[in-house]
Amino acid sequence: MIEDAPLLTVDGLTKWYGRRLGCTNISFDLYEGEVLAIVGESGSGKSTLLQLLSGQLQPNDGRILYRMRDETVADLWHLSEPMRRLLFRTDWGYVHQDAQMGLRMGISAGGNVGERLMAVGWRNYGAIRDTATDWLARVEIDQARIDDTPRTYSGGMRQRLQIARNLVTAPRLVFMDEPTGGLDVSVQARLLDLLRRLVSDLNIAAIVVTHDLAVARLLSTRIMVMKAGEVIEAGLTDQVLDDPREPYTQLLVSSILPV
Amino acid sequence: MTMHPLSLAGVSKAFTVHLQGGLRLPVLRDLAFTARPGECVVLTGPSGAGKSSILKLIYGNYRCDEGAILVRNGSDIVDIATAAPRQILALRRRALGYVTQFLRAVPRVSALDIVAEALDDVPREAARDRAAAMLARFNVPERLWGLPPATFSGGEQQRVNLAQGLLPERPVVLLDEPTASLDAENRAVVIEIIRERKRQGVALVAIVHDEAVRDAIADTSLDVTRFATAT
């Protein structure tokens, strides 16, 4: 089990925006079932890193290796553009902070979930509708709302719908950008519990960008702390948060308001 | 070569507090001890001597500056001091248990599922049956099993936590004040389960202030003040 090959290998990833540094020399491995949190304040490079990792932004240096379903290892930027898109549609998920960016606001909730299934070749309307209904239940959305558009949904419901849309095709790797950002605390707790359970039941690998250390603690097994484009500290989540070594990490941990 | 389930050698730990100008707080120096199968090592010493830190170092919750912390996992030996995160996680899932007096309640998960989740290698229904038996043993009323423990009393939460921590049968178990604030009846349950685990060959390291409990479970007492560097 320990000797398994990683799902994702990131090696020396670097991105410059002109002369301004996005992030530099990022390296790590990620395995199935692991949830990696990337934390740091605004401007630390964590969003740049997420865009690089998910293939939306091309790095200046370094490489991303991904173990495909047929067990071959592909260099992300050596794949053709259509192949990369196919991977993104079928094997990966991406949960945006703003659910509107991850949903099609004009089509029904069922359609939002079903569309992903059709993209991977499902054609039977009944099967698509049944699976969509099942997934709405899994993310605790009332079946009676399946034909409504997400415009009529609350923020928390939209986020749960976005998660169903992402997970319905059983991706192996899911990226999440501040998945609970902008939601009420009680809505956050529900969403976090749901995410925690789904990720563990489906044995998905996930990379979660967050500035909220409580979210990182609840969801992730490993953590990377970023500052000024660099990873300054990484390790087991509970170890880094309970025994932080770097001055900046100590500052972050001690800045949490007690409840 | 036979290896103990747990063996520490030359373990040193200090905290550096950067927010206070890099103040260095040494905690432990050159700590060494072993735990054999079926042995319960009780750590003694005054508050602040570093007893809880020792358990956190063994669990990989604190980082070890120097030395080796060897835990046996089947036929493998893992050095917690140098292991990769996923090796430590694998060890925690199969070989290393850690029970504190505080429950880290996960929002919205029922008491029964919290306890059953400790058995992640057992089919769900079987895990729930064993979880139910453990909750019953700790006298947690059945009407509470389906509820999330966030609203339970302190004592009820502690018993859910003990049921969760003591249910999986791992070869090395760390106990941090498992009986603090328990009533006599439930204290007796904890002692009984610890004795069962010892008979099964589990190696335990415990912090217990209650002398009666200590006498009932300890095979070895280790005074940590001789390894403590704090004054």
pLDDT over threshold 70, residue B1: no
Supply the pLDDT for residue A100: 94
Nearest to A236 among B15, B18, B85 (CB): B85
CA pair distance A39, B132, nearest whole angstrom: 38
pLDDT over threshold 50, residue B158: yes
Contacts of A255 (CB under 8 A, 6+ apart): none
CA pair distance A13, A54, nearest whole angstrom: 12
In which band, very low, low, confident or very high, does the pLDDT at B150 lie, cut at 50, 70 and 90?
Answer: confident
In which band, very low, low, confident or very high, does the pLDDT at B33 lie, cut at 50, 70 and 90?
Answer: very high
Supply the pLDDT for residue A2: 45
* Angstrom distances, CA of residue A170 to CA of A93, A163, A175, A220, A242: 9, 11, 13, 19, 34
CA pair distance B52, B71, nearest whole angstrom: 18
Q: Give the mutation candidate from A250, A251, A252, A253 for the B interface (greatest B CB count, under 10 A).
A: A250
- Closest chain A residue to B87, measured at CA: A2
Q: Give the mutation candidate from A184, A196, A221, A239 for the B interface (greatest B CB count, under 10 A).
A: A239
Average pLDDT along chain B = 91
Nearest to A242 among B19, B61, B107 (CB): B61
CA pair distance A151, A108, nearest whole angstrom: 9
Exposure of A210 by Cβ count < 10 A (0-12 exposed, 13-18 middle, 19+ buried)? buried
| Digit-coded pLDDT (tens) for B78-108 | 999 999 999 999 999 889 999 987 777 667 7
Q: List A residues 152-211 in contact with B (Cβ-Cβ < 8 A).
A: 189-190, 192-193, 196
Phi, psi of A66 (to 5 degrees): -130, 130
Kindly report the number of other CB atoms within 10 A of residue B186's CB atom: 19
CA pair distance B14, B161, nearest whole angstrom: 30
Question: How near does any CA of chain A get to the CA of B85, in Å?
Answer: 5
Contact between chains at A190 and B87 (C-beta distance less than 8 A): no
Question: How near does any CA of chain B get to the CA of A259, in Å?
Answer: 14
Q: Give the mutation candidate from A201, A217, A243, A253 for the B interface (greatest B CB count, under 10 A).
A: A243
**What ranges do the domains of chain B cover?**
35-63+83-226
Specify the amino acid at residue A38: I
Taking CB atoms and an 8 Å cutoff, what residues of chain A touch B86?
2, 31, 34, 221-222
- Closest chain A residue to B65, measured at CA: A245
pLDDT over threshold 60, residue B65: yes
Supply the pLDDT for residue A1: 43
Instruction: Give the H/E segment covering residue A21.
Output: strand A20-30
Question: How near does any CA of chain A get to the CA of B16, in Å?
Answer: 7
Give mean pLDDT in consecutive 10-residue pieces for chain A, a chain of 259 residues.
79 94 95 94 91 94 95 94 89 93 95 93 94 93 95 94 93 94 81 86 93 91 95 96 94 76
- Give the β-pairing of B220-223 and B40-44: parallel
Contact between chains at B63 and A239 (C-beta distance less than 8 A): yes
Supply the pLDDT for residue A76: 94
Taking CB atoms and an 8 Å cutoff, what residues of chain A touch B16?
245
Q: Tell me the sheet residues that pair with B175.
A: B99, B206
Third-level CATH fold of B35-63+83-226? Rossmann fold (3.40.50)
How much is the ipTM here? Answer: 0.90
Exposure of A139 by Cβ count < 10 A (0-12 exposed, 13-18 middle, 19+ buried)? buried
Is residue B86 a contact partner of residue A34, using CB atoms and an 8 Å limit?
Answer: yes
pLDDT over threshold 70, residue B121: yes
The pTM is what?
A: 0.91
In which band, very low, low, confident or very high, does the pLDDT at B229 lie, cut at 50, 70 and 90?
Answer: confident
| Gyration radius from chain B CA atoms | 18
Supply the pLDDT for residue A3: 54
- List strands edge to edge, sheet with A8-17: A20-30, A8-17, A61-67, A73-75
Strands, E assignment, chain B: 6-17, 23-35, 40-44, 66-73, 76-79, 96-99, 172-176, 203-207, 220-223
